[in-house]
Amino acid sequence: MDPLKQKFSEKATALRSEIKAMLKEHGDKRFDEVTLKQIYGGARGIKSMVWETSQLDALEGIRFRGYSIPQLREQLPKGPDGKEPRPEGLFWLMLVGEVPTDEEVQWVTEQWASRSEVPEHTFKALDALPVDTHPMTQFTVAIASMQSESEFARRYDEGISKNDYWDPTYEDTMNLVARLPRVAAYIYRRTFHNGDHIAPDKSLDWSGNFAHMLGKDSADFQNLMRLYLTIHADHEGGNASAHTTHLVGSTLSDAYLSLSAGMNALAGPLHGLANQEVIKWIFNMLESLGTQRPTKEQIAKYVEDTLASGQVIPGYGHAVLRKPDPRFMAQKRFAEEYIKGDDVVEVVWKIFDVVPPILQSLGKVKNPWPNVDAHSGALLVHYGLKEYSYYTVLFGVSRALGVLAALCWSRALGFPLERPKSVTTEWVKAQL
Ligand code: FCX
């Protein structure tokens, strides 16, 4: 058995019996109470699922298996120039809870390279779509089309024991993650570069090869991809893309169908699509002001006008966070180190000064601070990746790491079909 699978199997077996014993002894212990506001308010804050790979603190931000983003950057094995962490290492950490060695990360890189062949019919399915189909729609179609290769679906059809569900889920996860950069790069090149595709370079790491297939070979862009694909990977289980993947997976839909569903959730403007909305909003602002270097006063006026027209300020606010998102700060750090003085980056930083007090003054926005999506576009624009309708696909390639590692855990721990209770307003009124 491969070393990661072996380790995962041991850890999962141990945790499964621990949970069984815990449930037997404390199964009726109360952890939460639900208010009417939560029932009508998108279930905010209700503790109702287990997600082993990461946990979000409203003030501290995300921790992956206990490690904050700055700690990950320090401790995970890095790319060839030793600067940014390799997402392969984060995947290992999320799956088995241990920071991997350089050799272990190299093993993941080689595994994924060896599993990265995309079926020909997936390219054909993409080529059948109009070229102006939104890249996220192309992405979900491509992922669903690869379901024909699902090990889980095949083994379920043959009659697999419940105890073994985790095994083909792990295989599907490894195959699917391995193929995503090729699929995502294919979508980019067909949509924006006349289908002038670039063959993979399997000597590169997962992010480096992705950058290469996008047509961006500079060492700095490869580093941006390493950081980007690391910090977008997971944000505990309740966010819409993670929760959708989890819910669909709970029906024993395989990893392909579950991830494809999760990506449809990521494609919404209140979630992952906000990264395209941010840069679109900035470009529109610069155009309407007729300058690349607006003053803070000009930006404040534009923000007020956006709010007055009944729209949200994209990239600001969060359902859980109550501080500037550490993923925003990690990207700011990257910009300070690699591309200080860039015009669009300067605008993003001015917006960071201007927007929070304005949102605060509305008196209803619970978190006036920037989220992950407020910064990412400016970095991509700097390196010439200006086609912003593509940005959420990059987010999706990364998000697959977390939600699929979590899916492996859900199958290994024997989690059941998810089925929360709904009520009618009639029923609610009768309780008051
Ligand atoms: N601009 C204007 N108004 C905002 C706002 C913003 N950025 N953020 C929240 N509000 C408003 C809400 O629209 C709501 O108004 P209403 O009462 O009139 O309906 C009120 O403030 C209370 O909302 P709040 O409880 O603070 O926020 P929610 O948990 O409901 O929603 C999101 C959280 C993220 C959806 C919200 O802040 C938003 O729409 N932000 C802009 C879109 C965005 O950046 N999304 C990306 C989030 C994330 F990082 C990701 O998933 O990628």
The pLDDT of residue 100 is 98
Task: Classify residue 399: in a domain, yes or no.
Answer: no
pLDDT in tens, 81-96: 999 999 999 999 999 9
Domain residues for the domain of 335 are 276-382
Q: Which atom of ligand 1 is nearest to the CA of 320?
A: 29
Best probe residue, ligand 1, of 316, 321, 325, 331 (max atoms within 8 Å of C-beta):
316
Task: Classify residue 90: in a domain, yes or no.
Answer: no
Task: Classify residue 294: in a domain, yes or no.
Answer: yes
List the CATH number of the domain containing 365: 1.10.230.10
Task: Classify residue 392: in a domain, yes or no.
Answer: no
Task: Classify residue 330: in a domain, yes or no.
Answer: yes
Active site residues: 271, 318, 373
- Structurally, the chain folds into a number of domains equal to 1
What's the per-residue H, E or C state across the chain?
CCHHHHHHHHHHHHHHHHHHHHHHHHCCCCCCCCCHHHHHCCCCCCCCCCCCCEEEECCCEEEECCECHHHHHHHCCECCCCCCECHHHHHHHHHHCCCCCHHHHHHHHHHHHHCCCCCHHHHHHHHCCCCCCCHHHHHHHHHHHHHHHCHHHHHHHHCCCHHHCHHHHHHHHHHHHHHHHHHHHHHHHHHHCCCCCCCCCCCCCHHHHHHHHHCCCCHHHHHHHHHHHHHCCCCCCCCHHHHHHHHHHCCCCCHHHHHHHHHHHHCCCCCCCHHHHHHHHHHHHHHHHCCCCCCHHHHHHHHHHHHHCCCCCCCECCCCCCCCCHHHHHHHHHHHHHCCCCHHHHHHHHHHHHHHHHHHHHCCCCCCCECCHHHHHHHHHHCCCCCHHHHHHHHHHHHHHHHHHHHHHHHHCCCCCCCCCCCCHHHHHHHC
Residue minimizing CA distance to atom 45 of ligand 1: 270
Task: Classify residue 289: in a domain, yes or no.
Answer: yes
Going from the Cα of 272 to the center of ligand 1, the distance in angstroms, rounded, reads 13
Q: pTM above 0.95?
A: yes
Task: Classify residue 42: in a domain, yes or no.
Answer: no
Task: Classify residue 142: in a domain, yes or no.
Answer: no
What does the pLDDT profile of the chain (432 residues) look like in tens digits? 799 999 999 999 999 999 999 999 999 999 999 999 999 999 999 999 999 999 999 999 999 999 999 999 999 999 999 999 999 999 999 999 999 999 999 999 999 999 999 999 999 999 999 999 999 999 999 999 999 999 999 999 999 999 999 999 999 999 999 999 999 999 999 999 999 999 999 999 999 999 999 999 999 999 999 999 999 999 999 999 999 999 999 999 999 999 999 999 999 999 999 999 999 999 999 999 999 999 999 999 999 999 999 999 999 999 999 999 999 999 999 999 999 999 999 999 999 999 999 999 999 999 999 999 999 999 999 999 999 999 999 999 999 999 999 999 999 999 999 999 999 999 999 999
The pLDDT of residue 210 is 98
Residue minimizing CA distance to atom 34 of ligand 1: 318
The pLDDT of residue 244 is 98
Going from the Cα of 317 to the center of ligand 1, the distance in angstroms, rounded, reads 5
Going from the Cα of 133 to the center of ligand 1, the distance in angstroms, rounded, reads 27
Ligand 1 binding pocket (C-beta < 6 A) is: 239, 270-272, 274, 312-319, 359, 364-367, 371-373
The pLDDT of residue 200 is 98
Q: Which atom of ligand 1 is nearest to the CA of 311?
A: 2
